[in-house]
Structure 1
Amino acid sequence: MTSYDALLLVSFGGPEGPQDVMPFLENVTRGRNVPRERLEKVAEHYHLFGGVSPINQHCRDLKAAIEADFAAHGVDLPVYWGNRNWDPYLTDTVRQMADDGIRRAAAFVTSAYSGFSSCGQYAGDIARARAAVPGAPEIDKLRVYFNHPGFVEPFVEATRAALDRLPEDLRGRAHVAFSAHSVPMAQPGRERYAAELADISAHVAAQAAPGHDWRLVYQSRSGPPGQPWLEPDIGDHLEELHAAGTRAVVVVPIGFVSDHMEVKYDLDVEAAELAAKLGLAYERAATPGTHPRYVSMVRELLAERTAGPDAPRPALGTLGARPDVCPAECGHA
């Protein structure tokens, strides 16, 4: 049995004003030789929303919801929050934890899947933050939770709700596209990431949209044109649906835990505008956000990790619960 004296919420971070946008994008892409023109193009997406990403406010809301859930269930632990790419930076948060006398914390990451981008990078960031802080607490990253009922059940509910918002005469034959952030084919853990997405998409489709055609698609790729990434791209898929005579589509952002910029721009603006141009009725399902079931999952993941490897680890779909410590293929072992 492991005892923790804090929970650490770890997220990606995002700009909170126009002046933050380019410094934030430079943080995200440091060392990747991304052309300035590409950064300026992405910056335009943020400026459409006043230069503010929704992700930091989401983390504030999620932190408050976790604290309320902990209090309601007698979990007497402080909740800290640190980001990879913007204030509050993870290293600063770990320093504050050390100053507060925290000795061992569990880390909940706002990314549900295996793979380098969604798991390994976060584990590496936690390790680097600890190395930079004398007397840093031990920090155990909670397991990957893509198939935990607390993550999946809100998507089932949201997919049904999105289908219900379609015109009644289009609803029965609507296509369901499950969308996730694309990654390079050469990225460590890519196969595991794609397998998890496919497995849980199939489960949500069976529960929320039985009899509907569905497909897993990808979005938000940012690499050089000649570099292979996971496909099909959601834009290409919408074009194919139109060509096949499909009249309505529900997009489920199955790869995302909240409505951050890749959801708000890439799906709610870019994909929605393309669907309108093609004459496709379009609805986007909600992400878990601060859904009570998702919030309670954090406490459940903490409890199972505290209880040790023999504790029940609920999982939907066919792949089973992932281990507490990720394999080398996530890119950080």
Structure 2
Amino acid sequence: MLFLSFGGPDGPDDVMPFLENVTRGRGVPRDRLEAVAKHYQHFGGVSPINRLNLDMIDALRAGLAARGRDLPVWFGNRNWNPMAEDTLADMYRAGHRRVLVFPTSAWGGYSGCRQYHEDIDRALRSLARLEPTSTASDSGVVLRKLPQYWAEPAFLDAGADAVRRAAASLPDATTRPRLVFTAHSVPMSADRSSGPPDDSGLYSRQVLASATAVAERLGYDEFDQVWQSRSGPPQVPWLEPDICDHLEDLAAQGVTQVIVYPIGFISDHLEVIWDLDNEAAELAAELGMGYARADTVGTDPRFVDMIIDMVDRYADGGGDTDAFGCGDNGSLCRPECCAPPARPARSGRPTAP
């Protein structure tokens, strides 16, 4: 199994090289990278994502062992060490030829799904250069990406309990808090191109469907779906409203308590802790609003078991290979699915699924 994620810097000297990897080919000006680098330096130049991923991998290894499944779990990233290319080379040299790939994104869309297929394809191409007999056709190498899991009941159940825990931390137990879900914003053009050409807007519809399912588990008939971490020039429309703009609107409506659940993320990486635990939390305090941020699913045992259940479905050649997001060796699940967004010559803050 290859646990495939985005990556993040491990120290101050890694921050700019990491951001350069993320933004390569996008024309992002140096001063914008330096502004984003300050967010990482605020936390000592270390993104929590690698540690959180390693925690999840440890939980997966323990869960697999408890089920009696002897399945090694390897760690690879798109933008920082350990890079997916290096990890796959090590796996190949260790004798592995059939690999299940778990992506740390539950969603469709370019960044949430298709780019992981591109990561797999890039790793295979790198492997072919290092090992001339390592092409899929010659050596039997198969990297099967596991499907999107935004609708898996365990993912939704773990999220609902995270919201319940957050609610218990609010100061006023007599006032029902406003429930607000967040996910990573994308350009509206990118959202329209998510999904196959005949099923556009897949990403935002998936997020809304998941939020609805979690809200139903909590007995909420109404909730708010907002977005965070937008980047790019202001003239490019992105999914709205932004979480901070929304908090100001809620305060103007007289709302006194909110629970914010970052349903779009599976771990508390930098964009969660910066955008929600710093910017949004500070704004809520200024507005005199009770604020609680729900945990991401991370190492919740139900979420870890969900991943292992997916492994069980696919490990022996079974599973629904027509499911959204599933594909072998970088192939897409649907023709032309989740087309890459057209990027302006000079964009703003890099995005991270």
Structure-1-length-normalised TM-score: 0.91
- Report the residue type matching 2:208 in the other structure: A
Tell whether 2:308 aligns with 1:291: no
1:151-178 Cα distance to aligned partner (Å, 9 max, x none): 2111010011111211234542x11110
Once residues 149 and 59 of structure 2 are traced to their aligned partners in structure 1, the CA distance between those partners, rounded to angstroms, is 18
Indicate the residue corresponding to 1:329 in structure 2. 337
Indicate the residue corresponding to 2:117 in structure 1. 123
| Alignment equivalent of 1:238, drawn from 244, 247, 260 | 247
Closer, same or farther: CA 324–243 of 1 in aligned 2, 3 Å: same
Contact between 1:170 and 1:247, CA under 8 Å: does it hold in 2?
no
Closer, same or farther: CA 38–323 of 1 in aligned 2, 3 Å: closer
Q: For 2:163, what is the secondary structure of its paired residue?
A: helix
Indicate the residue corresponding to 1:185 in structure 2. 188
- Report the residue type matching 2:126 in the other structure: A
Tell whether 2:158 aligns with 1:154: yes
- Report the residue type matching 1:183 in the other structure: V
Return the offset for 1:201: 0.3
Contact between 1:217 and 1:231, CA under 8 Å: does it hold in 2?
yes
| Alignment equivalent of 1:304, drawn from 281, 291, 313 | 313
- Report the residue type matching 1:78 in the other structure: P
Indicate the residue corresponding to 1:3 in structure 2. none
- Report the residue type matching 2:271 in the other structure: E
| Alignment equivalent of 1:261, drawn from 255, 259, 270 | 270
- Report the residue type matching 2:166 in the other structure: A
Contact between 1:12 and 1:84, CA under 8 Å: does it hold in 2?
yes
Once residues 170 and 96 of structure 1 are traced to their aligned partners in structure 2, the CA distance between those partners, rounded to angstroms, is 56
Contact between 1:288 and 1:294, CA under 8 Å: does it hold in 2?
yes
Indicate the residue corresponding to 2:197 in structure 1. none
Contact between 1:177 and 1:215, CA under 8 Å: does it hold in 2?
yes
Indicate the residue corresponding to 1:317 in structure 2. none
Once residues 170 and 273 of structure 1 are traced to their aligned partners in structure 2, the CA distance between those partners, rounded to angstroms, is 23
Return the offset for 1:308: 2.5
Closer, same or farther: CA 276–300 of 1 in aligned 2, 3 Å: same
Indicate the residue corresponding to 2:211 in structure 1. 201
Return the offset for 1:302: 1.4
Once residues 284 and 46 of structure 2 are traced to their aligned partners in structure 1, the CA distance between those partners, rounded to angstroms, is 25
Indicate the residue corresponding to 1:60 in structure 2. 54
Once residues 230 and 55 of structure 2 are traced to their aligned partners in structure 1, the CA distance between those partners, rounded to angstroms, is 28
- Report the residue type matching 1:16 in the other structure: D
Deviation larger for 299-308 or 258-267: 299-308
Deviation larger for 323-332 or 30-39: 323-332
Indicate the residue corresponding to 1:78 in structure 2. 72
Gaps of 5+ in 2: 129-133, 136-140, 195-199, 328-332, 341-353
Once residues 218 and 162 of structure 1 are traced to their aligned partners in structure 2, the CA distance between those partners, rounded to angstroms, is 19
Structure-2-length-normalised TM-score: 0.86
Once residues 201 and 215 of structure 2 are traced to their aligned partners in structure 1, the CA distance between those partners, rounded to angstroms, is 21
Over aligned residue pairs, what C-alpha RMSD do you find?
Answer: 1.8
Q: For 1:210, what is the secondary structure of its paired residue?
A: coil
Contact between 1:163 and 1:171, CA under 8 Å: does it hold in 2?
no
Q: For 2:157, what is the secondary structure of its paired residue?
A: helix
Return the offset for 1:307: 5.6
Return the offset for 1:76: 0.8
Once residues 170 and 218 of structure 1 are traced to their aligned partners in structure 2, the CA distance between those partners, rounded to angstroms, is 28
Q: For 1:105, what is the secondary structure of its paired residue?
A: strand
Return the offset for 1:63: 1.1
Q: Which has the higher contact order (CA 8 A, sep 6+)?
A: 2
Gaps of 5+ in 1: 1-6, 314-320
Indicate the residue corresponding to 1:30 in structure 2. 24
Q: Aligned residues: percent identity?
A: 49
Kindly tell me the number of residue pairs found equivalent between the two proteins.
316
Return the offset for 1:214: 1.3
Indicate the residue corresponding to 2:226 in structure 1. 217
Return the offset for 1:186: 1.4
Return the offset for 1:80: 0.7
Indicate the residue corresponding to 1:247 in structure 2. 256
Contact between 1:54 and 1:260, CA under 8 Å: does it hold in 2?
yes
Return the offset for 1:101: 1.1
Tell whether 2:101 aligns with 1:107: yes
Once residues 86 and 281 of structure 1 are traced to their aligned partners in structure 2, the CA distance between those partners, rounded to angstroms, is 37
Once residues 22 and 112 of structure 1 are traced to their aligned partners in structure 2, the CA distance between those partners, rounded to angstroms, is 28
Contact between 2:107 and 2:150, CA under 8 Å: does it hold in 1?
yes
